[in-house]
Structure 1
Amino acid sequence: MADTDEISTTTRVPGTYVNYNFTNGSRTLATDDQYVVILAQRLDTGTVKALVPTDVYSSDEAAQYFGHGSQAHLMAAAAIRANSNIQLAICALDDDKAGVAATGALTLSGPATSSGQVRLQVGDKTVAVAVKNGSTANALLQSLHEAMAAEADLPVRATLDSPAGKGTTLILTAKNKGACGSEIGLSLTITATGVSGVLSPMAGGEGNPDVTLALTAIYSAGHTLIVMPYSTTDALSALSEHLGNVSGPIEQRGAVGVTGWNGTLATGTTLTTASNAARITTGWHPASVLSNGILAAVYAAIIAAEDDPSEPLDNAVLTGLDVTPQASWPMRTEMEKALHNGLSPFEVVNSKVQLTRAISNYVKNSQGIDDPTLLDINTIRTLDYVRKAWRTRMSQRFPNGGKLTDRRLLQIRSETLDVLYALERLEMVENVDTYKDQVAVTRNAQDDTRADTTIPAPVVRGLHILTGTIYLY
């Protein structure tokens, strides 16, 4: 309700008239609700068309909307598993028309000389068939083919190829075309003697859809975390531009982008330093069998689970990620290298995958000099919240602006300080008394209907490193 009197001064009918004014009714700060959107590829079997942002509340819904085993379905399922309270939307993309599907292959030799199992792991899903003494390779491949056909949520389709005069091969083809198919990890385990296998990894996927189409579709939706499965220079550049536009001083819908990386340190840091984006964070889980998209979905879900944007995420458990082989675990020197080059490492601790430190891609300023100002992703997220809290308070107290008088300028300054003190009590900013003289509300020199406010934001930093010295006496 406006802070003006709704009882007209022209009223002449006798009576007592009482108006309600709610502009001073609340002194609490705005909540920092997180709204996550995943950009990912769909299948033609899905009921929701491409470029239609759609809220999703369960894995089953995602499968129905975007197709069982699609990139969109599996990323949504991973995010919901990691954070069951997540506010999640999907903006699906169709496969690129010129895209090529990745393929893999499995051949077996036999016969078996004992009982056991043949287990094929596809991403984080395992399909197993029983082996009897005497089972032939072709029979086992046929059984594996049937077992995979029964698993609708696999990201691949299996077919049997039996050329004349040659043995049978199980061909695995990614359901979604593009590079994402080549990221699907495969592994083979055989416990029966007499049976051996040759597994060719998924490869050959080419052509990602144009991510700018999805970014345009979600432009005005107000998502705070945007999950992108494509870790390429072009995709990161498009995402960074989008984040800058929606988060800037005109649109003011602060958002952060989240991506994943399961490749090498050298290639990952090349990507992040080229991106150099303060609003993008890239999680690194080397040698993961999960795609970059699923890594990003889980990482974003964990970020969204923390209500306080200034709270460090060090050691947060990344539920649902695979425990990689120990030989692939990054060494301390590699983690330091990653953290100095815009890449957020994951590590395995007590059979769980944890986030080491959540940092942005931002490494250097515009002059190419190392700049740690926006190192931790918490910093830009906290600034976004400070802005949201201040704007919300101004809209409550002065919903129609009112008259530009000295009294109004003093009121704006008073409310600004009140917001900062409230933020200080939440330990999001600190030392407000030290900076309160910098809170200034002045008339603009070129526009006599505009007031300019200076708002110091001494953001509280996370305690990431604690040192001690032990003295021997």
Structure 2
Amino acid sequence: MQGTPALRKPILLVGTRRSTGTVAQQIVTPITGPSDGAGYFGHGSQLAHMCEGFKNANPSGELYAVALDEDAAGVAATNTITVTGTATEAGSIPLIAGGRRINAPVAKGDVQNTIAASIKAAFDTDVDLPFSSSVALNVVTNAARHKGASGNSLSIVHSYYAGQKLPAGVTLAITAFSGGTTDPDVTDALAALGGEYYYSIVTPYTDDGNMDILEAELETRYGPMVAKPGQGLAALRDTYAASQTYGNGRNSPFSNVLATSLSPTPPWVCAAILAGVEAAENDPARPRQNVKLPGMLPPLVGDRFDSLQRNLLLLDGMSTYYVETGECFLERLVCTYQTKNGIADPSYHDIETMRTLAYLRHSLKARFQLKYPQAKLANDGTTFGAGQVVVTPKLARGEILALFDEWERDGLVENKAQFKAQLIVERNANNPNQLDIFLPPDLINQLRVTAARMGFKL
């Protein structure tokens, strides 16, 4: 065998379903197109939107989804739109509702109750909205399709795009979604996975309990007895202060959370888009930066995190993006890991470290399984006949050094002299059938900062 092996990147989306979906909860289902989720998990469902977001960002990505029913003890988040005034001109009410564009027609002379009814009717025409609506007089009340705290991250804004405005004489008072409680338990989704490998598991549930469960599962999968490493991806829609607090409260090399500020796009859709973009990168060590997040709407200008805030969020374990000409671009994808035993530790700060380590292990395992699938093990210096497939520590060491050359060629590692000096290959003292290997790779780094000082003369 020559050359480093390819790596499958199956992605798993976890999310809440509606009863109108054809696929029951806890069944892992392959997704081949952006509209699959609506049929499988119900129009307007959280998981349907996640499937759509991923597939629009990465149409050819290998994608699976597992649904959960809402928690019966939960409460759905709600918000209100209060209309006041009489339209003195014809026009429309331009809204971004749950990340989707809605326009409610308004005729000159329409009064507030009529306008509220028009908004409700416009909402009803889009079966994929993540909430249902009712109207009483001049107030439209919206309730998330699902019970759960994640519904508090839905939003409705008006006049989002440049040049948009409300018809003269009309004003809207839009409250934040609130009151949602008790997301489903992600344990139920993880129980459905069996021994399957997933490159990333994307969750909409960012409460501490569910994140703790997901991180523990990913740590187990990373360990030597399972050796199916993956990362957990999520997104948090909140203020700078709340995002900073959230990041400081987590500390795992297996979770990556994008701080979206007040993006109109629901955070679970942002997380799915992020997973699609990240999976499209075939090089585990290439920096996940300056990459467009297609379909993610930036916050209004006043709600965007500035460069200083984003830098501080990175130090708090929160991933960031920046906005350029109205589009969102991934800035840096970091793990929530920040400290070990209370001491600052940058070892697992960037996802590239985790991805590269996982790939090196994968390629080493593939090399020995494919080249020596039924080898015998002997001490160095043993004399054996031609045609005998026998591995000795010295032979294995040479194989590993040759593999290092391939890693180096692929831009994954550097400093072979150090690697060669510190590499240990020996038979286990207690188990004669076991070969022990200590690998000390110096991982290649990423170009994050280009610093130049200008010296000039007149």
In which range does the TM-score fall when normalised by the shorter chain? over 0.9
Asked if residue 396 in structure 1 is aligned to residue 374 in structure 2, the reply is no
- The one-letter code sitting in structure 2 at the alignment partner of 1:383 is L
Q: For 2:59, which of 64, 77, 84 is the aligned residue?
A: 84
Residues in 2 aligned to 1:267 and 1:208: alpha-carbon distance in whole angstroms: 19
Q: For 2:175, which of 175, 191, 200 is the aligned residue?
A: 200
Give the conservation status (yes or no) of the 8 Å contact 2:84–2:138: no
Alpha-carbon shift at residue 441 of structure 1 (Å): 2.0
Q: Which has the larger radius of gyration?
A: 1
State, as a whole percentage, how many aligned pairs show the same letter.
28
Residues in 1 aligned to 2:408 and 2:72: alpha-carbon distance in whole angstroms: 52
Asked if residue 47 in structure 1 is aligned to residue 22 in structure 2, the reply is yes
- The one-letter code sitting in structure 2 at the alignment partner of 1:181 is G
What are structure 2's unaligned runs of at least 5 residues?
Answer: 160-164, 381-389
Q: Aligned with 1:354: secondary structure?
A: strand
Give the conservation status (yes or no) of the 8 Å contact 2:375–2:391: no
1:317-370 superposed Cα distances (whole Å, 9 cap, x missing partner) = 1111112111122122212211111111111122211112111111111x2111
Q: For 1:408, which of 391, 412, 424 is the aligned residue?
A: 391
Q: For 1:118, which of 93, 99, 103 is the aligned residue?
A: 93
Q: CA 1:340–1:471 in structure 2 vs 1: closer, same or farther (change >3 Å)?
A: same
Asked if residue 377 in structure 1 is aligned to residue 351 in structure 2, the reply is yes
Partner in structure 2 of residue 9 of structure 1:
none
Give the conservation status (yes or no) of the 8 Å contact 2:99–2:266: no
Alpha-carbon shift at residue 312 of structure 1 (Å): 0.3
Partner in structure 2 of residue 459 of structure 1:
443
Alpha-carbon shift at residue 426 of structure 1 (Å): 0.3
Give the conservation status (yes or no) of the 8 Å contact 1:183–1:290: no
Give the conservation status (yes or no) of the 8 Å contact 1:45–1:67: yes
Residues in 1 aligned to 2:449 and 2:97: alpha-carbon distance in whole angstroms: 38
Asked if residue 447 in structure 1 is aligned to residue 431 in structure 2, the reply is yes
Q: Aligned with 1:201: secondary structure?
A: coil
Alpha-carbon shift at residue 405 of structure 1 (Å): 4.3
Asked if residue 157 in structure 1 is aligned to residue 157 in structure 2, the reply is no
1:9-408 equivalences in 2 (<5 Å): 26-161=1-136, 167-189=137-159, 191-365=166-340, 367-406=341-380, 408=391
Give the conservation status (yes or no) of the 8 Å contact 2:243–2:318: yes
What are structure 1's unaligned runs of at least 5 residues?
Answer: 1-25, 162-166
- The one-letter code sitting in structure 2 at the alignment partner of 1:172 is N
Alpha-carbon shift at residue 256 of structure 1 (Å): 0.7
Give the conservation status (yes or no) of the 8 Å contact 1:183–1:289: no
Residues in 1 aligned to 2:437 and 2:83: alpha-carbon distance in whole angstroms: 72
Give the conservation status (yes or no) of the 8 Å contact 1:232–1:271: no
Asked if residue 432 in structure 1 is aligned to residue 402 in structure 2, the reply is no
RMSD after superposition: 1.7
Q: Aligned with 2:96: secondary structure?
A: strand
* TM-score (norm. length: structure 2): 0.92
Q: Aligned with 1:51: secondary structure?
A: coil
Give the conservation status (yes or no) of the 8 Å contact 1:32–1:308: no
Range that drifts further, 227-236 or 404-413: 404-413
Q: CA 1:144–1:274 in structure 2 vs 1: closer, same or farther (change >3 Å)?
A: closer
Range that drifts further, 250-259 or 104-113: 104-113
1:249-306 superposed Cα distances (whole Å, 9 cap, x missing partner) = 1100010111111212332232223221012111112111222212211111111110
- The one-letter code sitting in structure 2 at the alignment partner of 1:347 is Y
Q: CA 1:470–1:143 in structure 2 vs 1: closer, same or farther (change >3 Å)?
A: closer
Q: CA 1:277–1:219 in structure 2 vs 1: closer, same or farther (change >3 Å)?
A: farther
Range that drifts further, 180-189 or 96-105: 180-189
